[in-house]
Amino acid sequence: MRRLDLWLVLAVLFIAAASFLAQSSTAQALERPTLAYRQMVWLLVAVGMMVVVGMLDYRVIARFWPPLYAGSLLVLAITLLVAPLRAGTRSWLVFGTFTVQPSEFARVVVLVALAAVAATHQQGLLSTRKSLELVALAAVPMGLVLLQPDLGVALSFLPALAAVFWLGGLRLRVWLLLAVVAVATSVLVFFALLKPYQKERILTFLEPERAPYTAGYQQRQAKIAVGSGGLTGKGLKSGTQSQLRFLPAQGTDFIFAVWAEETGFVGSLSLLFAYGLLLFRIFYAGLLARDRLGLLLCGGVGAVLGAQVLVNIGMNLGLAPTTGITLPLLSYGGSSTLATGLALGLVQSVWRLRFANL
């Protein structure tokens, strides 16, 4: 335990405590008293998983990326076939009273696979062939998630790929090629794959007054909640936007708005500081890693979690379109919370073995 990064653990515990308080408010508003306690159970399990995985050797875990990757693709394919339709997507497998979102865990597996494959390339820059191999590793699971369809989670695979390219070293012509492909793919996805309500969310973000009571309603209410928090907030379980149910998806996508309304600027800044500390310790562990694999793993985990934080909070502030990306460890959801615990466990493993002989 003394070899764990205690600063990272403290950041996680602060965010977990904030999650319990915010979810308690949501539970009261939605008249679901067990909501906060269920989330706390998931958080405790995630912390336990982080510690257990941190005690393992990340280099050994990375050796098993092929069966883990194949298993993830299989589960994603099965999800498409047997998952019930919920909120317009087939993203959750149902086991009695529990639901599991396989794409959250698949993202962690893809992160390990990308780091393991890129780490075997010992040259200064990634070759074009190796770059295409990495793109394919990320594209296949992303495609399966897009078919569910879950655009937000599918896009969350990209930061891991970008981090591996950045840290692994990429030729300028490959960056330019990827930029062209990204723009072309974005246009294709927008016009051919996105559903009308998804297009409307993007258009409403670009033109906020386009549909303030339909596609733009969620973001409009979130901005009202954040702004009404003032300096110190309205007090726990006293936010009008959440308690009067004006704020939709308040336990998941817009949980930051609940926290901001009830704790104000001071509470929001404290939460942002905790996320900043968490990300700093992740990247710091990568800088101290004893091998290329450890660097790539930490870089990938930091990029994914950092992107989620930026997009989700930006969404709550009206600075990013509504995408359905949750806020790590704060939003309600067992799959997201446990997957984050696994990812942080990999970082802890890199930190613990930073002085190990290779």
Count of other CB atoms within 10 angstroms of residue 357: 5
Number of alpha helices (DSSP H) and beta strands (DSSP E) in the chain:
15, 2
Amino acid at residue number 303: A
Helices 172-188 and 128-146 cross at an angle (nearest 10°) of 20
Given a contact cutoff of 8 angstroms between Cβ atoms, the answer to whether 163 and 296 are in contact is yes
What HEC string does 19-33 produce? HHHHHHHHHHHHCCC
| Residue in 202, 159, 115 with CA at minimum distance from that of residue 304 | 159
Q: What is the pLDDT of residue 327?
A: 93
CB atoms within 10 A of CB 195: 11
Query: Strands, DSSP E only, in 49-144?
Result: 93-95, 98-100
Mean pLDDT of 343-356: 91
- CB neighbours (10 Å) of residue 155? 18
Q: How confident is the model at residue 273 (pLDDT cuts 50, 70, 90)?
A: very high
Banded model confidence at residue 215, pLDDT cuts 50, 70, 90: low
Q: Using one digit for the tens of pLDDT, what is the confidence trace for 32-63?
A: 888 899 999 999 999 999 999 999 999 999 99
pLDDT for 149: 82
Q: In the structure, what pLDDT confidence band is assigned to residue 74 with cuts at 50, 70 and 90?
A: very high
* pLDDT score recorded for residue 323: 79
Return the minimum-mean-pLDDT range out of 128-142, 169-183, 230-244.
Answer: 169-183
- pLDDT band per the 50, 70, 90 thresholds, residue 252: confident
pLDDT of residue 94: 86
Average pLDDT over residues 126-148: 89
The mean-pLDDT minimum among 129-138, 160-169, 200-209 falls in 200-209
In the predicted model, what is the mean pLDDT of residues 166-191? Answer: 80
Average pLDDT of 239-260? Answer: 88
pLDDT for 193: 67
- Best-predicted range by mean pLDDT (93-107, 293-307, 322-336): 293-307
- pLDDT(355) > 60: yes
Query: What's the sign of the alpha-carbon dihedral 6, 7, 8, 10?
Result: positive
Q: Are 103 and 73 in contact (CB under 8 A)?
A: no
pLDDT value, residue 134? 92
**Dist CA 30 CA 53 (whole Å):** 35
Contact 308, 327 (CB under 8 A): yes
Contact yes or no for 150/89 (Cβ under 8 A): yes
Q: Specify the higher pLDDT residue, 271 or 152.
A: 271
Rounded distance between C-alpha atoms, residue 6 and residue 55, angstroms: 14
- Helices (DSSP H) in 193-254: which residue ranges? 196-206, 217-228, 240-243
Q: Which pLDDT score, from 0 to 100, does residue 1 have? A: 58
Considering only 27-31, 82-86, 176-180, which range has the smallest mean pLDDT? 176-180
List residues bridging with 199 in a β-sheet: none
Q: What is the Cα–Cα distance from 257 to 250, expressed in whole angstroms?
A: 8
